[in-house]
Amino acid sequence: MLYFTIRRLVGSVFVLLASSFLVFALCAASFDPLARYYTLQPRPPETFFANLREELGLNDNFFVRYWNWLTGVVTGDFGQTINGTPVADQLFGRMLVTGRMIVLAMVIAILLAVVVGVIGAVRQYKASDYVLTFVVYLLIALPTFWFAALLKEFVAGGVNDLFGQQVLYTIGEQTPGLELYATSSEIWLDRLGHLVLPTLSLALLAFASWSRFQRAAMLDVLGSDYMRLARAKGLTHRRAVLKHGLRNALIPLTTVVALYVGTLFGGAIITEQVFVWNGMGRYLLEDGISNNDINVVLGWLLVSAFFVVLLNLVADILYAVLDPRIRLG
């Protein structure tokens, strides 16, 4: 196991290196951070352009720029944005914002996926299975941005109308300026109101595909010999399903969930954009790509890739831990 883990870790470093080099090359070839100043009226003086090129290292050749970035990252310095803010300062806070959304969404999605998957398997081809399958496929088919927009338009509006007051919010992580006059309980309530829709948006789409995996795994298990043996030994159907069936059927889902984290990061980019959550996704789109800022894009990439690689590794290890028949070496 240790050898396997070390081998995967070393491999991951090369994955991170290769992906960062590739993205750096793409950004360096297509980004021009000075572009927004050329058509400014009045046009800035040439000294300004020369100074900015020097400051941003644009006069250096490509390999020197990449090397400078890489050596900085090794020492924890992710460089500065084109406007002079250290990227590392932003990454941590942004990770917390995105992390809050993703972790909560994962918890909700896992619980829902297990319940719906088990019901679907146990009641296979019954009305409830057909209804759940229909709903799940509908969710799988919905694009993230559209589903999020529907939640904002109908769920938020409907719930708020129902309560006659603002319960669910559609913009930001909390009502701006609230801390200047509200109590801590009011702030927490407000944050919860802001958290519900983006989390649901992310969770429901993730749950949809996970529940299909859970259903398939459960069906496999239900048809296995040891389940029949358990029933023959006199265990109730409920006990056999929950104690013997579900535990074994959870193993494949663990892997799927861990591997799906990368997709969740992708979904979070859209969700953050729609709900104006200033997490990693908006950092990439607004501060990185829109601003032609190579350090921001690479900062995002490195953090995202790190978590994806880490969770893939965790998935492999968990698989071995949960299923003693699997040996890694």
Partner 1 sequence: MRSSKRGSALVASGMVGALALSACGGGGGGGGGEGGEAAQGGRVVYGESTDFPENLFPNIAAGNAVSTANILRGILPGTHVILPDFSVVYDENLLAEEPTLSTDGGTQVNTYVIRDEAVWSDGTPITADDFEFTWRSSRSGDPADGGCASVLSTNGYEQIASVEGSGENNKTVTVTYETPYSDWQGLFSGNFGGGLLPAHLMDNPDPVALCDTLTAGWPIGEGIVGDISGGPWQLLADNIDAGAQTVVLTPNPEWWGEGPNLDQLIVQNIGNDPTTAVQGLQSGELGVIYPQPQLDLVDQVEGLAPTVESDITFGLSFEHLDFNTLDPHLGDINVRRAFTMALDREEIVAQTVGQFSSEAEVLQNRIYFNNQPQYQDTAPEEYKQQNTDMARQLLEQSGYTAGPDGIYTHPQRGPLNIQIDTTANNPLRQQTIEVMIPQLREAGINATFNANPDIFAGADKPTSLEAGGFQAALFAWVGAPLRSPTQSIYSTPQGDNVQQNYSRQGTPEIDALFQQFVSQPDPDAQTELGNQIDAALWEQVATVPLYQKPTFIAYQSAIEGVEDNSTQAGPLWNSETWTAAQ
* Binding interface with partner 1 (CB under 8 A): 30, 32, 34-45, 47-48, 50-52, 81-85, 89, 93-94, 97, 149, 152-153, 156-157, 160, 164-166, 169-178, 180-183, 186, 189-190, 273-274, 276, 278, 282, 286-287, 290-291
The least CB distance from residue 274 to partner 1, in Å, is 7
The least CB distance from residue 83 to partner 1, in Å, is 4
Distances in Å between the alpha carbon of 162 and those of 158, 165, 189, 308? 6, 8, 18, 40
Tokens of 36: 């927004």
> Where on the phi/psi map is residue 276: left (φ > 0), alpha (ψ -120 to 50), or beta?
left
The least CB distance from residue 91 to partner 1, in Å, is 12
Burial 62-73 (b: 16+ CB within 10 A, else e): eeebbeebeebb
The least CB distance from residue 173 to partner 1, in Å, is 6
Single out the residue of 310, 259, 292 nearest to residue 95, CA to CA: 310
Distances in Å between the alpha carbon of 188 and those of 100, 179, 244? 14, 10, 40
The least CB distance from residue 288 to partner 1, in Å, is 12
Instruction: Spell out the residues 6+ positions from residue 239 whose beta carbon is closer than 8 angstroms to its own.
Output: none
The least CB distance from residue 267 to partner 1, in Å, is 16
Distances in Å between the alpha carbon of 275 and those of 11, 143, 147, 195, 329? 36, 15, 12, 10, 45
120 vs 177: CA distance, rounded Å: 46
DSSP 80: B
